[in-house]
Amino acid sequence: MKILLLGGYAFVGRALIDAAHARGHTVTAFNRGNHEAPPGVEQLTGDRGDPVFPAGRRWDAAIDTSGYAPHQVRAAAEGLRERIDRYVFTSSISVYPFPIQPGTDESAPTASFHDGLRRRGRARHGKLRRAQGRLRSAARGASAGPPV
């Protein structure tokens, strides 16, 4: 499987790369290029706000670990629309109401913030992540599904 990782080599990026390599998959990473790519990873350097992907390239799946704002997720999903079979977006725990209860999983209700709220930190981050989640299927033909 050919995987495109949208994001860096920290957070969950390195674990995803290691898991993909252990299964014999190839990994290409699209990020700012601030750090050297791990062995066996092709580096594509670009801007999340206006991503440009090489012409003629195709991947089986894109895993997005770095979309912070909805416009970044939308730009990636639209740019990859005809180039991927599956778009996997990872969110954060910030979408759930605080305090987060033991046993909370992705089926739990998400926190609600009124539209006029312009707070920094956790509330703003959670609101952005929920908006991104609504965009995750924006890539026509891509589908959500079990982990790759």
- Would 145 be classed as within a structural domain? no
105-122 mean pLDDT: 62
> At residue 99, does pLDDT exceed 60?
yes
- Would 105 be classed as within a structural domain? yes
- Would 146 be classed as within a structural domain? no
- What domain range includes position 52? 2-135
- Would 148 be classed as within a structural domain? no
- Would 131 be classed as within a structural domain? yes
The C-alpha angle 131, 50, 53, rounded to 5 degrees, equals 110
Residue type for 27, please? V
Q: What is the pLDDT of residues 77-94, one digit of tens each?
A: 999 999 999 999 887 777
> At residue 120, does pLDDT exceed 50?
no
- Would 141 be classed as within a structural domain? no
Q: What is the pLDDT of residues 53-76, one digit of tens each?
A: 999 999 999 999 988 788 888 999
> At residue 124, does pLDDT exceed 60?
no
Q: What is the rounded average pLDDT for all residues in the chain?
A: 81
d(CA 106, CA 135): 16
Give Cα 96 distance to the centre of its chain. Answer: 18
119-145 mean pLDDT: 49
The domain total for the chain is 1
Q: For the domain that residue 86 is a member of, what is the CATH number? A: 3.40.50.720
Res 100: pLDDT: 86
Q: What is the pLDDT of residues 13-69, one digit of tens each?
A: 999 999 999 999 999 999 999 999 999 999 999 998 899 999 999 999 999 998 878
**Does the global pTM surpass 0.75?**
no
Res 127: pLDDT: 55
- Would 144 be classed as within a structural domain? no
Containing 132, the helix (H) or strand (E) segment is helix 122-135
Residue type for 105, please? D
- Would 91 be classed as within a structural domain? yes
